[in-house]
Structure 1
Amino acid sequence: MSTYSQKRAQPRLRALMVGFAGHQGKEYLPVVREYADIVGGVDVAPAAGALADDWGFPRFTGIGEALKRVDFDVAMVTVPHSEHFPLCRELLLHGKHIVKEKPFAVTEEEARQLIELAEGADRSVYTLLQRNFNPVFQFARKNLARIGDPYWFSYDYHFNLAQPTSGWRASREQALGGVLLDMGYHLIDVLSGMFPEPSRVNAAFVHHYQEMRDRHLEDLVSLMCSYPSPTLSGSLRISRHNHEKSERLCVLGTGGALNVEPQGATLHSTGGRLLERFTRPGPKTDAVRAMIAHYLGHLDDRDVREDHFRRQLTTVRVIDGIYRERSRERNELADRYS
């Protein structure tokens, strides 16, 4: 039998969709179906039943029920941050692979526990981070050396929401953090793939709305990153209520500059001469499709798994460290005025 025939003979993966009725879950449904059979879904949302009927799979209201009722190889998890760890722990204890929305974990302790559980079960836990599969960001990583030694970066990412944050992201108990954990996770992960882990991060947390201040959920965060090498520093600004939606990474090096936006990137020499312009060759959905195909195709690849674990542990550790320092400062301030 030819290699092609052997591949064709392999059974399709069976996927369980957890949180499929939310915005992100609905976006992934058609892509997952290209590469796997969706054998069930877990969601308590009122609209989940009708959506499951439309897609032709059974709907369950809890992960325990799904584990008893259907056999599956991998769970696609798109739920509020507070539900990630207990869900993933339960799935790994039952020997299931996981492909999940960010964050990989909320705290470094949870990240280490998750990695230990995954390695013990010989299962993967992959995090859905679209920028890693966007050709523009791939171009940036590949060509970073062309600007010499990087000495500065600035990374800005803004939404233009006209109203206060709503839904589970407005709940401290469910979100467990504001824009840093939500939007910022993507940016910290991008930087983790380009630079060493920062040795120190100074953070300013800002609130547009009083209700978000009361819940300790930042509307804007500004970060200044220092690195083991004194020749590299950088800044990030992340917010939900800017006048326009935008994302831009600029890296300055001893030999030029790299500018990256989701739609394209440019390389310039020192002095501003354009060296190369790269434009994303297809729509955003191409990156989503490539991401899900890659993860589902490497569930049993231990090398890919270990690389993913190392990078996600770095990303979680940086964000957890920022929040811990912020909590310490807030407690010191409260003690001072108590």
Structure 2
Amino acid sequence: MPGDRLKDLRPRPRVLMIGFAGHQGKEYLPIMRESADIVGGVDSAPPALPLAGEWGFPYYENLDDALKSVDFDAAVVTVPHGEHFPVCASLLAHGRHVIKEKPFAVTEPEARHLIRLAQQADRSVFTLLQRNFDPVFRFARENLARIGEPYWFSYDYHFNLARPTTGWRASWEQARGGVLLDMGYHLVDVLSGMFPEAPRVHSAFVHQYRETRDRGLEDLVGLMCSYPSRGLEGSLLISRHSLAKAEHLCVLGSEGALNVAPGAATLHAVGGAQLERCAPEGSRTDITRSMIAHYLERLEDRDYRRDHLLRQLATVRTIDGIYRDRSGGSSELAHRCA
């Protein structure tokens, strides 16, 4: 096909990996190399230097040195939440595209500032959210209309860690939140794609361990969401220390239901009869590969960029509103455009 031949003739993007020695960064290294040329890595952690040598790219202890020394088109940012904004702001000031781990930002003002910087630089800031590229969640989005008017959803997501949170997630300054910002960002983003109206939210924050309570980092959060104009209600329950690792989304509608879990999604008629099932054979790595290739191909796509930024602003606004109003118990998160 002519389009495929043109794509093959394009130069491969040159990518700088920031935070590449962490768990997430190391996962992206082999996948990124399939679609781009890794021209350098930035990470101050002790394992970073030998890892860069193993992968054969230049190592820089800080971003300023990398910006002075290497030319690149985009940076992949996988650093603690509290470091996201200054890193992204510096990259945009130097005219580089950004592909970053979630969250897009930790507060709504920060998200709006980041969007302004991206617009001024005419550069993309894409957020790495695998569920948006997972066939089972795509099946759910594409078949949502078949269940009629949704009136209820429940979305549960749990880890089964046996001990208190450790590493940078145990520091408020670095994590900037507990399970809601870390794990819950994925769930709120999924719901933003299915039900774009901003919800009213009642929240309950729970601390299993004294350490996380003292640092203001919730171990469990329960949310009750209301979408008044839709007649839709729903719940989210997110925790790090449950009995088993699990994820499950169920949406009930006037004409049926959708069930989504890792690896399979099903469409049901009223009464429970299964109408259709999606159970793709691909792996989590295949989903990540598709996501990264998708973003790299759209770095210069201004329309795609705009839609992505608005979606992320809605997700950040919802989470920031819940944190700000948690002591009051209820919040109405008004929808505003950037």
Instruction: Tell me the TM-score range normalised by the shorter chain.
Output: over 0.9
For residues 132-143 of structure 1, what are the structure 2 equivalents within 5 Å? Answer: 132-143=132-143
Task: Read off the aligned partner of 1:175 and give its amino acid letter.
Answer: A
1:12, CA displacement in angstroms?
1.4
Deviations 1:39-83 (A, max 9, x none): 000001100000000000111111111000100000000000000
Query: Quick one: distance in 1 between partners of 2:230 and 2:328?
Result: 26
For residues 59-74 of structure 1, what are the structure 2 equivalents within 5 Å? Answer: 59-74=59-74
1:278, CA displacement in angstroms?
1.2
Q: Equivalent residue for 1:158?
A: 158
Deviations 1:94-140 (A, max 9, x none): 00000000000001101111111111111000000000000000000
Query: Does 2:108 align with 1:114?
Result: no
Q: Which deviates the most, 79-88 or 279-288?
A: 279-288
Query: Quick one: distance in 2 between partners of 1:265 and 1:8?
Result: 34
For residues 23-62 of structure 1, what are the structure 2 equivalents within 5 Å? Answer: 23-62=23-62
Q: Equivalent residue for 1:258?
A: 258
Query: Quick one: distance in 1 between partners of 2:200 and 2:240?
Result: 25
Q: Equivalent residue for 1:239?
A: 239
Are the counterparts in 1 of residues 39 and 57 from structure 2 also a CA contact under 8 Å?
A: yes
Question: Percent sequence identity over matched residues?
Answer: 69
Are the counterparts in 2 of residues 134 and 262 from structure 1 also a CA contact under 8 Å?
A: no
RMSD: 1.2
Q: Equivalent residue for 1:275?
A: 275
Query: Quick one: distance in 2 between partners of 1:129 and 1:103?
Result: 9
Deviations 1:4-63 (A, max 9, x none): 554433221100000000000000000110111100000011000000000001111111
Are the counterparts in 2 of residues 198 and 225 from structure 1 also a CA contact under 8 Å?
A: no
Counterpart of 1:265 in 2: which secondary structure? strand
For residues 194-213 of structure 1, what are the structure 2 equivalents within 5 Å? Answer: 194-213=194-213
Residue 226 to residue 115, structure 1, CA distance change in 2 (3 Å): same
Are the counterparts in 2 of residues 81 and 106 from structure 1 also a CA contact under 8 Å?
A: yes
Q: Equivalent residue for 1:334?
A: none
1:326, CA displacement in angstroms?
2.0
Q: Equivalent residue for 2:335?
A: none
Gaps of 5+ in 1: 330-338
Are the counterparts in 2 of residues 196 and 227 from structure 1 also a CA contact under 8 Å?
A: no
Given the two structures, how large is their TM-score scaled by the length of structure 1?
0.95
Across the two proteins, how many residue pairs are aligned to each other? 328
Gaps of 5+ in 2: 330-338
Q: Equivalent residue for 1:312?
A: 312
Query: Quick one: distance in 2 between partners of 1:263 and 1:7?
Result: 31
Q: Equivalent residue for 1:332?
A: none
1:230, CA displacement in angstroms?
5.6
Query: Quick one: distance in 1 between partners of 2:4 and 2:156?
Result: 45
Given the two structures, how large is their TM-score scaled by the length of structure 2?
0.95
Are the counterparts in 1 of residues 198 and 314 from structure 2 also a CA contact under 8 Å?
A: no
Q: Which deviates the most, 155-164 or 263-272?
A: 263-272
